[in-house]
């Protein structure tokens, strides 16, 4: 059944607009910057024991990190531009559902590090690793937004 175009514009609450139109796109851009321009730091934030020195990053790893940076850029543009272009709630829900699936895939990608090694979920507990308002995840960065917290932590 075809969906009919909604003519009623929805005004989303300010916290949603602020988070999905400003904070998340900036976090994705920070992730893109680190994955492409600061590869050694990105790898060290992901899993320090296996991170190579900055002058010894294999070409294949460098290429994959640049591809990852491109995907972070895609996420940032989707959120910043696609969601800004419409107030259609169906479009918002669809885009955010796809990004949720991508986030779950991103978290699954670090599952190989194991919850028993350096990775644990500790709701609301600050640590020396990365912190988000909802949880702390260590094995290092599980999303681009954690880079901001990780860098903040390093500066202290």
If you average pLDDT over residues 16-27, what whole number do you get?
A: 92
Instruction: Give the Cβ contact number of residue 14 at 10 Å.
Output: 8
Residue 7: pLDDT over 80: no
Please give the mean pLDDT across all residues of the chain: 76
Alpha helices by DSSP H, listed for the chain, are 14-18, 24-37, 39-46, 59-77, 89-109, 144-155
Provide the pLDDT for residue 113: 74
Domain ranges in the chain are 14-155
pTM here is: 0.68
If you average pLDDT over residues 35-45, what whole number do you get?
A: 93
Provide the pLDDT for residue 106: 84
Provide the pLDDT for residue 137: 38
């Amino acid at each position: 059944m075809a969906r009919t175009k909604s003519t009623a514009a929805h005004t989303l609450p300010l916290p949603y607009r602020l988070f999905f139109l400003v904070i998340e796109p900036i976090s994705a851009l920070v992730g893109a910057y680190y994955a492409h321009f600061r590869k050694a730091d990105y790898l060290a934030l992901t899993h320090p024991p296996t991170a190579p020195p900055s002058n010894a990053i294999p070409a294949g790893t460098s290429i994959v990190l640049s591809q990852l940076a491109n995907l972070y850029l895609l996420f940032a543009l989707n959120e910043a531009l696609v969601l800004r272009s419409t107030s259609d709630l169906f479009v918002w829900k669809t885009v955010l559902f796809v990004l949720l699936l991508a986030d779950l895939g991103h978290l699954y990608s670090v599952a190989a590090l194991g919850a028993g090694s350096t990775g644990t979920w500790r709701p609301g507990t600050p640590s020396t690793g990365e912190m988000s308002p909802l949880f702390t995840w260590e094995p290092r960065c599980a999303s681009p937004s954690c880079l901001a917290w990780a860098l903040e932590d390093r500066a202290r």
